[in-house]
Amino acid sequence: MKITNFISKKSIALNVHPTDKNEAIDMLVDLLMTAGTIRDKALVKRDILKREAQGSTGLANGLATPHAQNSSVKKPSISVITVPEGVEFNSLDGKPARLLILFAAPEKADDTAMTNMGRLAVLLMDDDFKEALIRAKTPAEIIQIIDRKEAERSKSETPEPDVSANTKIIAVTACPTGISSSFMAREALKNCAEKLGLSIRVEVHGAAGVYHALSDEEIKNADYVIIAASKRIPMKRFDGKMMIQTAVNTGIRKPEQLFKRIENGQAQPFQATEDDETLGEKLFNKIKSIFS
């Protein structure tokens, strides 16, 4: 299934001019309503804002990837707007968002569909690809650019190597909805490790489950664990491991900082408890209590 199966020409609006983040989200949700993939705009927007409260999806270099998962979404779907002059989105780098892509998924997400939506999130980490989308003149061109990039990526991908015996750093990425941020954090960690000449295996907790799950052997042989997560994940299996814990957005934006913390001896031994939580989970629970 191609990424563009989740995108309709009706769910794309180019060169729009929202006045603020709230209006930009309204535009993205309205596009999905026009495309017929959601039932209730208010419910979808509510969950987008809940996710934003847990950490802005305004990432860096003009990209924002708001997302939501609830029963009002009929099928996995994506909407796109371009804002050439930019709109304030509380982005992690302080810059306005120029390309905004909304990922929406039903409560019971199909594994294949969610994997393919996650693939678009990964592709968006390529600045040239992102800028090409911003420059697009028509919705049809947006779809063509995505199709072409996906085909290029598929040709260059190689199977994940079996490195369980010699991988000294392992990682887990997770975000509250598991639609885009967790996949992007995995890609950022892998790319950074490659540049640094390091080997890493990264487990992803997505909306439909766990991808690239770490084996008991990989955990046993690893010297260090990076947890870039903003939701609850199984932690007892890492008991006694030297660990760095951070939010998923740090895994996306500052992966090199995490490897430097390991190099500088800042990893700490993790001691599992009956009620172990990631740092991100504690924040998640606090925010959840506000909205409940």
Active site residues: 67, 175
One-letter identity of residue 248:
V
Give Cα separations from 217 to 205, 221, 271 (angstroms). Answer: 19, 6, 19
Give dist(CA 96, CA 91) in Å, integer: 7
Q: Which residue's entry shows tokens 């371009």?
A: 82
Q: How far apart are CA 264 and CA 207, in angstroms?
A: 34
Joined together, the tokens standing for residue 37 give 């993939």
Ranges of beta strands (E only) in 138-181 are 169-174
With contact defined as beta carbons under 8 Å apart, do 27 and 81 qualify? Answer: yes
Residues across the chain: 292
In this structure, the number of other CB atoms found within 10 A of the CB of residue 292 comes to 5
Let me know: does 247 contact 175? Beta carbons within 8 Å: no
CA distances 148 to 97, 117, 142, 151, 275, Å, are 24, 16, 10, 5, 46
Greatest CA span in the chain, whole angstroms? 55
Residues 80-117: b if buried by 16+ CB within 10 A, e if exposed? bbbbeeebebebbeebebbbbbbbbbbeebbeebbbbb
CB distance 97 to 132 below 8 Å: no
